[in-house]
Amino acid sequence: MKRLLNLYPPYIGEGIKITHLSQDWRQLHVAMSVRWYNRNAVNTHFGGSLYSMVDPHLMLLLMPLLGRDYFIWDKAADIEFLKATKKKVTCVISISDNDLEEIKQGTQGGDKYFSTFTLEIKDEMGEVIARVNKTLYVKRKPFKA
């Protein structure tokens, strides 16, 4: 699956690489270096590329973790740019047991649930250069008799 994600055309076009995907789908590492085709006017990481590197992953990780009984959609996101950099950037995206339990409890009665995750994009020195808040819509599918 990691190889397939790395072949996703927008990722190839932006130089984004999935460097790790755990076998249990609980953690994914993503990285991006500055290239001539993904930098901004002042030669630092383009903000759209920074967001793109984390965009689909929470939804993609939750789908196999929760299974086919759930609708999962990206609902909202915001990004806070903290520091410009020309260095390689990375993000570790994790889903904990607690995250899964909250989602299952929140959707128990067939209600929609909005789960929010905060992701930190870091430079090579481990300094946070951007913070992304992602909200996902999750709802248990109706039982079919």
* pLDDT tens column, 101-134: 999 999 998 899 999 999 999 999 999 999 999 9
Q: Is residue 145 part of a domain?
A: no
pTM of the entire predicted model = 0.91
Q: Which residues contact 72 (CB under 8 A, 6 or more apart)?
A: 59, 62, 63, 66, 136, 137, 138
Q: Give the total number of structural domains in the chain.
A: 1
Residue 102 falls inside a structural domain: yes
Q: Mind listing the pLDDT tens digit for each residue in 53-102?
A: 999 999 999 999 999 999 999 999 999 999 999 999 999 999 999 999 99
Per the structure, the complete domain to which residue 125 belongs is given by 2-140
Residue 93 · residue 58 · CB < 8 Å: yes
CATH number of the domain bearing residue 7: 3.10.129.10
Q: How far is CA 53 from the centre of its chain?
A: 7
% of the chain surpassing 70 pLDDT: 99
